[in-house]
């Protein structure tokens, strides 16, 4: 449900409750009740989202993200710290550190979201090693598992490299056209746009690839895909 739809629903519910209660209570009592409900909503109904990935999702600054992880998680449970640190190393392009970190992680106490981050790291390592069979097998395993529906968007994002490795560029472009407008996390958009540029370049659509790469590199965000975008743009120019 969208943000404005939720607001309208809340207003409708409030109106119905007010109409029902107005038959039994005086106006000033209803106002007091309303103020109590508003206070409870502010305190408990508008909690901030998990900020663990904020520097990636909004600022796309992997250096700040790793600094944040070292400050927040270093003295906490080791596997959780290693998970977020390794995820940061993944998006900085430090695959040696990723390979070193992933083998030390114990997932037994992870929440579903943390498990999905862990699986994404493993899949990106397979992609980096161009292991098409291993990557596709892992994707099928996750999509058919109990969290397949919960993390549908993440899985579709992770579907893109399969087409890239198989050189199925038409299918990849179609998938990206569907996926990109649905993304809310900036670092996901940048990642998918980079894949789109690679597909265009492979299809011989040089001008289209350059246009996409100019978007990817415009703000010089601190992500591995941006660094790769600069390299590909230099090649095409």
Q: What integer best gives the mean pLDDT of the chain? A: 85
Q: What are the tens digits of pLDDT across the range 6-57?
A: 566 665 666 666 666 666 666 656 565 555 555 545 444 444 445 667 777 7
Position 44 scores a pLDDT of 43
Residue 145 binned pLDDT confidence (cut-offs 50, 70, 90): confident
pLDDT at 98 over 90: yes
Mean pLDDT confidence for 159-165: 97
Position 42 scores a pLDDT of 47
Position 45 scores a pLDDT of 47
| Residue 132 CB partners (closer than 8 Å, separation 6+) | 162, 165, 166
For 162, 178, 224, the CA distances from 213, given in Å and listed in that order, are 21, 19, 13
The model's pTM is 0.76
Position 48 scores a pLDDT of 40
- Residues 185, 220 contacting (CB under 8 angstroms): no
Residue 72 binned pLDDT confidence (cut-offs 50, 70, 90): confident
pLDDT at 97 over 70: yes
Position 79 scores a pLDDT of 93
Position 9 scores a pLDDT of 64
Position 43 scores a pLDDT of 42
Mean pLDDT confidence for 181-207: 95
Position 87 scores a pLDDT of 95
Q: Is 172 exposed, middle or buried (0-12, 13-18, 19+ CB in 10 A)?
A: buried
Position 26 scores a pLDDT of 61
Q: What are the tens digits of pLDDT across the range 204-216?
A: 999 999 999 999 9
Lowest mean pLDDT across 22-26, 48-52, 93-97, 218-222: 48-52
Q: Which is nearest to 173 in space by CA: 143, 151, 205, 147?
A: 205
């Amino acid at each position: 449900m969208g943000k404005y739809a939720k607001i309208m629903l809340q207003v409708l519910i409030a109106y119905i409750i007010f109409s029902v209660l107005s038959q039994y209570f005086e106006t000033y009592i209803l106002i007091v009740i309303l103020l109590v409900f508003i206070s409870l909503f502010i305190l408990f109904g508008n909690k901030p989202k998990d900020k663990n990935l904020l520097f990636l999702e909004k600022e796309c600054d992997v250096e700040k993200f790793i600094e944040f992880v070292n400050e927040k998680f270093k003295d906490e449970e080791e596997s959780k710290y290693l998970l977020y640190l390794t995820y940061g190393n993944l998006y900085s392009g430090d695959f040696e550190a990723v390979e070193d970190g992933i083998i030390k992680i114990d997932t037994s106490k992870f929440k579903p979201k943390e498990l999905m981050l862990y699986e994404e790291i493993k899949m990106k390592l397979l992609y980096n090693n161009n292991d098409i069979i291993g990557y596709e097998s892992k994707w099928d395993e996750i999509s058919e598992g109990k969290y397949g529906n919960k993390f549908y968007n993440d899985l579709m994002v992770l579907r893109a490299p399969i087409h890239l490795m198989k050189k199925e560029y038409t299918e990849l472009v179609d998938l990206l056209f569907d996926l990109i407008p649905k993304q809310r996390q900036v670092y996901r958009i940048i990642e998918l746009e980079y894949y789109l540029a690679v597909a265009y370049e492979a299809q011989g659509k040089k001008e289209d690839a350059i246009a996409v790469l100019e978007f990817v590199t415009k703000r010089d965000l601190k992500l591995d895909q941006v660094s790769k975008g600069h390299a590909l743009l230099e090649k095409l120019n």
